[in-house]
Amino acid sequence: MNWDAWLPLAIVASSLLPGLVIFFMREGSHGLRTVLNLTGAVLKLVLVGVMIWGVFHEHVYETRWTLAPGLDLVLHADTLSVLFVTLSTVLWLVTTVYAIGYLENAPHRSRFFGFFSLCVSATVGLALAGNMFTFVIFYELLTLATYPLVAHRGTPEAVRGARIYLAYTLGGGAVLLLGAVWLQVIAGPVTFVEGGILDRLPVEVHPQLRVIFLLMLIGLGVKAALVPLHGWLPQAMVAPAPVSALLHAVAVVKAGAFGIVRLVYDVYGVHFAGQLGLLAVLGTAAAITIIYGSVMALFQDNLKKRLAYSTVSQVSYIALGTAILGPLGTIGGVVHLVHQGVMKITMFFSAGNYAETLGIHKVSEMNGVGRRMPATTLAFSVAALGMIGIPPVAGFVSKWYLGLGAIEAGMAGWVMPVLIASSVLNAAYFLPILYRAWFRTAAPAWPAEHIAAGRFETSGSLLWPPVVTAMLALAAGLFAAAPYSPLEWAILIAQREYAL
């Protein structure tokens, strides 16, 4: 194989191989484990940078193995896959730094970082999957690699949350597999192609295609936390903060949302999906989820659970954009894949800092925390304002294009009320947190040794990750029109999907 064929495989292997080595390392090998983690993360970032440049200039990168007739394992780079791979790679590097500091004195670190690397490898493999067969394989590997991370602490609550997660995601995977097999029987090997491949099939199979779409939407909707398939997500918040960040911003939830985008644009084709009436189904499910998640977040005092229900709501903006027929809606949905990731990971990093440094787990315990941990709280505040849609943070750009897309598609009558209502609800459950953090008087219940030491923050490895990701969220809004920005890349994806 030449370099073009090796590159996708090398990107997957850059986290897979260090992860396999880490499994066999002793717990005391902290320095070597850190070197392996960071070397793999930096190498992946360099390789992805090469791929970004090549795909932008329409270079073809593809790794292919034929397992049996009609069953090819394919890793292929296109504009959509590169966007998701870049998000996963950048946030994996930042999360690795955070996890090293977070688990500094914790047991079972080799097991954690081994599965952590496998999780990212499965996510990148899923992103680079060139056909449905490959996608389903990595989709299931992601489930299996993430389960030990959710159960990492080993407490009864952690084990229970992990079992609920496993039951939901394995069930969703089985439904997705059923739909994928049925589709291959009808259409042959299902390759991801910009614009879709199913509109050439005879009219007689269209009823079957509708049922298959619903099956696959259910399978993907479990990981994407579409209502009523979202029940695992709040339960999985028992996981350590780096895992919660991974679930919400990089891996599991994004894998489901990314799969929905693939299904609509690169399997069915957005125009054909619209003709079959499938976009209305997806749009309805997304709208219900957006409002439901926001309403539920209002009633959560536990900070991580409030953020979890916020994720239920925010990720469905991606599905909503996918359901809006037209390039502007596509831009809004696809760019939110990135924007939501950098904003939400910032919030989970911050939540982890509050818990580890001051023992804060609830919103009601956050009075005055902004004066004790100003940098962490400033990062949290930037992300929260972005989630509401306040300019110039990245979330505003997503919502702006979703609104423009709704007007372009003649769907403003129901999409705009959803966007407005969700933004009001976002403000209702985030602004009270910011008010408590910055303006309320602190309760004297924080660890005495921390206060006596005069420390106003936490360790650098825990502090810098949320600061960096908050800056990325702000930069994605301020420099949205810059070359290679998430927005410019989303515009490129829309142009190619709609053949503009």
| Token duo for residue 403 | 């609104």
Other C-beta atoms lying within 10 Å of the C-beta of residue 206: 13
DSSP secondary structure of 437-489: HHHSPPPS-S-HHHHHTT--S--HHHHHHHHHHHHHHHHHHHTTTSTT-HHHH
Of 24-28, 58-62, 120-124, 224-228, minimum mean pLDDT range: 24-28
C-alpha–C-alpha distance, residues 397 and 382, integer Å: 14
Tell me, yes or no, whether 216 lies in a domain.
no
Average pLDDT over residues 148-152: 83
User: How sure is the predictor about 453, in pLDDT bands with cuts at 50, 70 and 90?
Assistant: very low
Q: What is the pLDDT of residues 332-384, one digit of tens each?
A: 999 999 999 999 999 999 998 998 888 888 999 899 888 888 999 999 999 99
Q: 22 near 117, Cβ under 8 Å?
A: yes
Full residue range of the structural domain in which residue 410 is found: 291-500
Average pLDDT over residues 247-259: 84
The closest alpha carbon to 224, from 317, 146, 160, 150, belongs to: 317
Average pLDDT over residues 190-217: 91
Tell me, yes or no, whether 359 lies in a domain.
yes
Tell me, yes or no, whether 252 lies in a domain.
no
Q: For the chain, what is the mean pLDDT?
A: 88
pTM of structure:
0.93
User: How sure is the predictor about 76, in pLDDT bands with cuts at 50, 70 and 90?
Assistant: very high
The pLDDT of residue 150 is: 85
The pLDDT of residue 452 is: 40
CA–CA distances in Å: residue 421 to residues 284, 336, 477, 487 = 15, 18, 22, 24
Other C-beta atoms lying within 10 Å of the C-beta of residue 439: 11
Which residues have C-beta within 8 Å of that of residue 46, sequence separation ≥ 6? none
Average pLDDT over residues 183-188: 92
Host H or E run for residue 71: strand 71-76
Q: In this model, does residue 317 exceed pLDDT 90? A: yes
The pLDDT of residue 156 is: 86
C-alpha–C-alpha distance, residues 237 and 248, integer Å: 10
Comparing 357 with 109, which gets the higher pLDDT? 357
Comparing 204 with 452, which gets the higher pLDDT? 204
Average pLDDT over residues 12-30: 81
Q: 369-392 burial string, b = 16+ CB within 10 Å, else e?
A: bbebbebbbbbbbbbbbbbbbbee
Tell me, yes or no, whether 340 lies in a domain.
yes
Of 163-167, 250-254, 415-419, minimum mean pLDDT range: 250-254
Host H or E run for residue 76: strand 71-76
Q: In this model, does residue 27 exceed pLDDT 70? A: no
The pLDDT of residue 327 is: 92
Tell me, yes or no, whether 337 lies in a domain.
yes
Tell me, yes or no, whether 220 lies in a domain.
no
Average pLDDT over residues 138-157: 86
The pLDDT of residue 497 is: 82
The pLDDT of residue 29 is: 66
Tell me, yes or no, whether 138 lies in a domain.
no
Tell me, yes or no, whether 181 lies in a domain.
no
Average pLDDT over residues 444-452: 53
The pLDDT of residue 454 is: 47
Q: In this model, does residue 59 exceed pLDDT 60? A: yes
Domain count, the chain: 1
The pLDDT of residue 447 is: 57
User: 3-state SS of 372-408?
Assistant: HCHHHHHHHHHHHHHHHCCCCCHHHHHHHHHHHHHHH
C-alpha–C-alpha distance, residues 247 and 442, integer Å: 31
Of 1-5, 50-54, 180-184, minimum mean pLDDT range: 1-5
C-alpha–C-alpha distance, residues 157 and 293, integer Å: 23
The closest alpha carbon to 224, from 301, 216, 46, belongs to: 216
Could you tell me what percent of the chain has a pLDDT over 90? Answer: 56
Q: 115 near 149, Cβ under 8 Å?
A: yes
Q: What is the pLDDT of residues 157-168, one digit of tens each?
A: 888 888 998 999
